[in-house]
């Protein structure tokens, strides 16, 4: 049964409800982790290079029974929800829950994605290969690197060796397998099985990235290495997830819902009505010391303008919130002047209508650059640029950062547009959208993920006041490599040679 890609908030609102029959068939053929994050705390990302086409096709087909469908993800989530609800009826809920989780272990979550080079290597006919121009161009292509202002694949002779891609990402990467679970031991065991299978069946593991979720306390909200809550404002596709965040009056200031067509696309390689999604993969190193220095530089400037010699903790918190757009606990700086406390419900139903001049949340703040929340003048088009983030943190030696993954129906229209036209655009939101007073500066780069030369930027001297200070910050996030992938349907995986 075909899906209506214009539809949003699909399925029942009741979190205890079964998957409706009209969704069972299509969601059984769509991979999980697209419409909803897999939610596991540990993962391994296996990058694969095919060496024997015949064997590789058979291996791809064998993976069809191992990958996790959206239907299975729904059922596993329902089982977990019921278990947690039942645990509250027992004297020691946590102990009972842990015992049950041990006895009723869920299967490891698995995704399989292919790059454009992977489709070509497998000899897939042109008409069965996903058509997005950016996907076919690939992340390594010089045009992509120029478009996104990324570092070169390899630094020129005499250049900065830090300003280049990691060697592992310069290889031809044909496929990506994501293995995820709350148990790192189960992840490692399953990843080894898959690695062994690949080695016997026409492929090699080019390299592996290991992800782990960072949290504020046990079962707390997800954070990243700079210390800020992460993944708060992802688009929502299921009615039960929308119901959880719906205001008491039922009216959103900023509607988190999204049509299925934001992330799903009809697959040219499948039979009948099959769907997949484009994924962008970027390894982003976070230079924590540089971020702290930038935050301290801005905090010191705020203190000096206030007549104080040294920055205090409140200055540092506000400076970080100006840069990110939220305080560390997720509270939006457009609504709050100080942290409200980690662990509380994280506000997301807000917009910037009461902060038209950027007196509370600077126009260049990361969350405002990447999600202007209906202030560009064309809300429909603006919302169509949203991406669906599925990132996870990493720690490798002395380097830490984010294994950035995002899903979308068009890499050109969504991720690349957002990075090039918003994050890297020194004139967004000012002057391209917001009027610029005489003598005022352009916004400059997104201070978190913007790529390009640093420029002087304006920041509110006092939260909510119009007077500005001018400070130049350095970039604390460095792109180390990546690739563009497509997450095909299970139908395609079963018959990649057709």
Per-residue pLDDT of 204-245, as tens digits, reads: 999 999 999 999 877 789 999 999 999 999 999 999 999 999
- The residue-averaged pLDDT of 345-371 equals 95
- Predicted confidence (pLDDT) per residue in 65-103, tens digit: 999 999 999 998 888 777 667 777 777 766 766 666 666
How do beta strands 468-472 and 477-487 pair? unpaired
- Please, what is the average pLDDT of the chain? 93
For Cα atoms 343, 344, 346, give the angle at the middle one, nearest 5 degrees.
Answer: 105
Each domain of the chain, given as residue ranges in start order, spans: 21-285+483-494, 287-387+417-480
pLDDT for the residue numbered 103: 63
Higher pLDDT, 388 or 88: 388
Q: In the chain, pLDDT over 90 holds for what percent of residues?
A: 83
Using 50, 70 and 90 to split pLDDT, how confident is the model at 272?
Answer: confident
Using 50, 70 and 90 to split pLDDT, how confident is the model at 434?
Answer: confident
Q: How many whole angstroms separate alpha carbon 305 and alpha carbon 343?
A: 33
Contact 458, 82 (CB under 8 A): no
Weakest mean pLDDT among 139-153, 156-170, 278-292, 357-371:
156-170
pLDDT for the residue numbered 101: 64
H/E element holding 210? Answer: strand 203-212
* Cα→Cα distances 17→20, 107, 450, Å: 8, 21, 42
Residue 342 has pLDDT above 70, yes or no: no
- The residue-averaged pLDDT of 289-307 equals 97
pLDDT for the residue numbered 88: 73
Weakest mean pLDDT among 105-114, 115-124, 264-273, 360-369:
264-273
- Predicted confidence (pLDDT) per residue in 435-474, tens digit: 888 889 999 999 999 999 999 999 999 999 999 999 999 9
Cβ-based burial of 380 (10 A; exposed 0-12, middle 13-18, buried ≥19): exposed
Contact 150, 281 (CB under 8 A): no
pLDDT for the residue numbered 255: 96
pLDDT for the residue numbered 285: 98
Weakest mean pLDDT among 82-91, 156-165, 314-323, 397-406:
82-91
pLDDT for the residue numbered 341: 54
- The residue-averaged pLDDT of 157-169 equals 90
pLDDT for the residue numbered 134: 98
- Predicted confidence (pLDDT) per residue in 118-155, tens digit: 999 999 999 999 999 999 999 999 999 999 999 999 99
- The residue-averaged pLDDT of 55-67 equals 96
Indicate the DSSP class of residue 59: H
pLDDT for the residue numbered 85: 72
Instruction: Note the maximum CA span of the chain.
Output: 72
Higher pLDDT, 270 or 212: 212
pLDDT for the residue numbered 337: 74
State the CB neighbour count (10 A cutoff) for residue 260. Answer: 22
pLDDT for the residue numbered 82: 73
For Cα atoms 248, 374, 146, give the angle at the middle one, nearest 5 degrees.
Answer: 135
Q: How many whole angstroms separate alpha carbon 443 and alpha carbon 440?
A: 9
pLDDT for the residue numbered 289: 97
Residue 292 has pLDDT above 80, yes or no: yes
pLDDT for the residue numbered 344: 59
Residue 400 has pLDDT above 80, yes or no: yes
Residue 343 has pLDDT above 70, yes or no: no
């Amino acid at each position: 049964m075909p899906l209506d890609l214009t539809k949003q908030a699909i399925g029942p609102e009741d979190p205890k409800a079964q998957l409706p029959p009209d969704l069972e068939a299509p969601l059984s053929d769509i991979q999980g982790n697209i419409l909803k994050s897999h939610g596991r705390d540990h993962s391994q990302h296996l990058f694969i290079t095919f060496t024997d086409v015949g064997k590789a096709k058979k291996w791809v087909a064998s993976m069809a029974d191992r990958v996790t469908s959206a239907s299975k993800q729904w059922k596993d989530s329902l089982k977990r929800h019921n278990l947690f609800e039942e645990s509250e009826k027992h004297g020691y809920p946590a102990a009972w829950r842990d015992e049950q989780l041990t006895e009723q272990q869920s299967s490891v979550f698995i995704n399989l994605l292919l790059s454009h080079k992977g489709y070509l290597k497998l000899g897939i006919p042109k008409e069965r290969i996903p058509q997005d121009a950016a996907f076919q161009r690939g992340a390594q292509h010089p045009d992509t690197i120029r478009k996104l202002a990324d570092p070169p694949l390899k630094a020129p002779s005499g250049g900065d060796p830090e300003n280049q891609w990691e060697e592992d990402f310069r290889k031809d990467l044909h496929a990506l397998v994501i293995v995820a679970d709350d148990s790192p031991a189960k992840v490692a065991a399953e990843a080894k099985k898959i690695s062994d299978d690949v080695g016997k069946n026409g492929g090699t593991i080019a390299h592996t990235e290991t992800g782990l979720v960072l949290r504020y306390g046990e079962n707390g909200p997800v954070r990243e290495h700079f210390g800020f809550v992460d993944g708060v404002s992802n688009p929502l596709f299921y009615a039960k997830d929308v119901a959880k965040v719906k205001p008491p009056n039922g009216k959103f200031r900023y509607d988190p819902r999204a049509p299925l067509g934001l992330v799903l696309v009809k697959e040219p390689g499948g039979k009948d009505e099959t769907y997949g999604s484009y994924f962008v993969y970027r390894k982003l190193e976070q230079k924590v010391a540089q971020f702290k220095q930038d935050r301290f530089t801005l905090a010191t400037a705020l203190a000096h303008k206030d007549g104080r010699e040294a920055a205090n903790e409140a200055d540092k918190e506000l400076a970080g919130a100006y840069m990110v757009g939220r305080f560390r606990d997720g509270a939006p700086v457009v609504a709050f002047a100080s942290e409200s406390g980690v662990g509380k419900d994280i506000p997301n139903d807000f917009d910037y209508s009461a902060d038209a001049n950027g007196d509370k949340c600077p126009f260049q703040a990361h969350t405002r650059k990447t999600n202007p929340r209906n202030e560009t003048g064309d809300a429909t088009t603006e919302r169509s640029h949203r991406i669906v983030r599925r990132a996870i943190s990493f720690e490798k030696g002395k380097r830490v950062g984010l294994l950035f993954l995002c899903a979308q129906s068009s890499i050109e229209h969504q991720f690349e547009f957002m990075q090039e036209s918003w994050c890297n655009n020194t004139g967004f939101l000012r002057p391209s959208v917001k009027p610029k007073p005489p003598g005022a500066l352009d916004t400059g780069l997104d201070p978190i993920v913007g790529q390009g030369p640093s420029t002087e930027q304006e920041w509110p001297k006092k939260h909510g006041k119009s007077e500005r200070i001018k400070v130049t910050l350095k970039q604390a996030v460095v792109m180390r490599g990546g690739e563009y992938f497509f997450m095909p349907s299970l139908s395609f995986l079963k018959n990649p040679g057709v």
